[in-house]
């Protein structure tokens, strides 16, 4: 009770302080020219070594060959920063690794997001190589109420790096991602209504979020233009991400500021760490078609190693970005024995999503995601629905998410499954960043969650509306 009171009090303090902070939006504190403090487009010189792609005016950006620019003008330049094109508002000519479009379109794996999504990172060049990196590290205290609740302090986050260079007329890209999640222990952290994976190879984790593996991505890709606005590409990862679902939740601008995993994770994006992926695709201007063969088994409880397995599963995805603000996708997957605790049980999954992002005014951004996922096993289907959104104003970010899942893993039986229950969750929170050095910010945040369980689960949880919350510190390097 004391922990929940502290979490609620901390969150209330953050929200109460926000209006006072917002009153000074038009007059931010003076910062030295080299600071990475939030910039109002057109007010500051772009920072050397960093490009804020959320401020890109794509009408003034070299996205590769178009009907007005012959293909040979961009051959070998795709994926490189044209520093001559960088104006006072931080515009960049950097395009995607998989095709001649804005780099802001690319997210986790080969997934797309809106073209004008926020896309930050430290940048530099070494010879023909262009390098980018960023890090988000969280210190989190989770307090979950009710009979199934628990408390835990843990670390989470990710460190990502990218290197790319021209390869003939196309682009070669290498990516690596790492997570401190294994430090929290094999049982992960308490999170009501979450389920999936195992800590010991025997029992399913229930009302806990499993840690992600230390190796989040080790991938390589090559692309080659086949027309003014089209290309083909090949992507491989050990681990990597197959062509299924929207971008992974920690990469979605609509919710990336929340340290809380979604309870819909195993419907939509749990495959973002897959040990063995091979994806081929074709980009046709604003459309993308792709097909993956991959190891369908979820990672086991050993979180520090690299696993191997046959490429026995298949996924297909079609993506369409009709405007710079909108990204749509629909995908399907056929997974071979994905669950360690369910040998011989295959799954089929479907998903569809819409992501929206735009700059509302200088220094103010908004992003939202709507998604649906379905997983089918042994002739039974279970759905999940997600709606999430964030608003960023200077150094403040407010975020929220609502979810509904049909889950048959909350009550365990001899065959690891019980009856299916429709459950829900709504969470909302805020974070305030403070610039502590060039390219370094420290954030203080909190969130409060209300969980919704039906009558059949009320006795198990001790309430029909059990409460949870988190307080967290975040170190960002970008």
The pLDDT profile of the chain, 478 residues, written as one tens digit per residue, is 444 434 444 444 433 334 333 333 333 333 333 333 333 333 443 333 444 444 444 333 333 333 333 333 333 344 444 433 333 333 356 889 999 999 999 999 999 999 999 988 999 999 999 999 999 999 999 999 999 999 999 999 999 999 999 999 999 999 999 999 999 999 999 999 999 889 998 888 999 999 999 999 999 999 999 999 999 999 999 999 999 999 999 999 999 999 999 999 999 999 999 999 999 999 999 999 999 999 999 999 999 999 999 999 999 999 999 999 999 999 999 999 999 989 999 999 999 999 999 999 999 999 999 999 999 999 999 999 999 999 999 999 999 999 999 999 999 877 667 899 999 999 999 999 999 999 999 999 999 999 999 999 999 999 999 999 999 999 999 9
- Cα dihedral 250→253→258→260 (10° resolution): -40
pTM for this structure?
Answer: 0.81
Q: Which two tokens stand for residue 258?
A: 């929340």
Q: How far apart are CA 415 and CA 435, in angstroms?
A: 51
- Cα dihedral 357→371→140→122 (10° resolution): -40
Tell me if the bond preceding 239 is cis, omega within 30° of 0.
yes
Are residues 3 and 144 in contact, defined by beta-carbon separation less than 8 angstroms?
no
Q: Which two tokens stand for residue 429?
A: 């929170």
Taken in order of first residue, the domains within the chain and their CATH numbers are 2-20+49-477 (2.40.160.10)
Are residues 337 and 198 in contact, defined by beta-carbon separation less than 8 angstroms?
no
Q: How far apart are CA 210 and CA 207, in angstroms?
A: 10
Q: Which two tokens stand for residue 422?
A: 């429709």
Q: How far apart are CA 384 and CA 406, in angstroms?
A: 6
**Nearest CA to 112 among 402, 357, 400?**
357
Signed CA dihedral, 66, 68, 74, 79: sign only: negative
Beta strands in 394-439 (DSSP E): 396-407, 421-437
């Amino acid at each position: 009770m004391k922990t929940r009171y502290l979490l609620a009090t901390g969150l209330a303090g953050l929200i109460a302080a926000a209006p006072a902070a917002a009153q000074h939006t038009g007059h931010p504190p003076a910062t030295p020219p080299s600071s990475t403090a939030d910039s109002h487009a057109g007010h500051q010189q772009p920072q050397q070594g960093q490009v804020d792609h959320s401020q890109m005016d794509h009408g003034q950006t070299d996205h590769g060959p178009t009907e007005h620019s012959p293909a040979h003008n961009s051959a070998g330049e795709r994926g490189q920063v044209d520093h001559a094109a960088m104006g006072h508002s931080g515009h960049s000519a950097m395009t995607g690794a998989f095709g001649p479009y804005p780099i802001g379109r690319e997210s986790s794996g080969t997934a797309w997001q809106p073209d004008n999504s926020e896309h930050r990172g430290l940048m530099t060049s070494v010879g023909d190589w262009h390098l980018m990196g960023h890090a988000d590290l969280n210190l989190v205290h989770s307090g979950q109420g009710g009979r199934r609740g628990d408390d835990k302090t843990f670390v989470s986050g990710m460190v990502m790096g990218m290197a790319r260079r021209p390869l003939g007329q196309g682009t070669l890209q290498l990516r690596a991602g790492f997570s401190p999640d294994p430090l929290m222990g094999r049982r992960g952290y308490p999170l009501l209504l979450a389920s999936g994976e195992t800590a010991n190879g025997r029992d399913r984790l229930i009302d806990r979020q499993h840690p992600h593996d230390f190796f989040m991505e080790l991938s390589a890709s090559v692309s080659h233009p086949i027309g003014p606005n089209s290309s083909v590409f090949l992507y491989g990862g050990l681990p990597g991400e197959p062509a299924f679902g929207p971008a992974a939740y920690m990469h979605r601008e609509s919710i990336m500021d929340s340290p809380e995993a979604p309870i819909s994770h195993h419907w939509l994006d749990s495959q973002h760490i897959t040990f063995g992926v091979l994806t081929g695709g074709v980009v046709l201007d604003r459309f993308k078609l792709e097909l993956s063969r991959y190891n369908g088994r979820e990672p086991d409880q050993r979180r520090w190693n690299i696993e191997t397995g046959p490429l026995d599963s298949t996924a297909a995805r079609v993506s369409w970005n009709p405007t710079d603000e909108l990204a749509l996708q629909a995908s399907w997957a056929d997974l071979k024995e994905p669950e360690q605790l369910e040998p011989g049980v295959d799954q089929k999954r479907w998903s569809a999503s819409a992501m929206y992002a735009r700059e509302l005014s200088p220094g103010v951004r908004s992003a939202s995601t709507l998604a649906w996922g379905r997983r089918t096993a042994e002739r039974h289907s279970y759905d999940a629905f997600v709606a999430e959104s964030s608003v960023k104003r200077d150094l403040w970010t407010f975020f929220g998410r609502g979810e509904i899942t049909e889950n048959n893993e909350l009550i365990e039986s001899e065959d690891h499954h019980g009856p299916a229950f429709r459950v829900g969750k709504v969470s909302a929170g805020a974070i305030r960043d403070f610039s502590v050095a060039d390219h370094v910010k420290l954030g203080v945040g909190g969130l409060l969650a209300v969980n919704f369980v039906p009558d059949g689960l009320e006795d198990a949880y001790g309430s029909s509306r059990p409460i949870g919350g988190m307080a967290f510190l975040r170190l960002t390097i970008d």
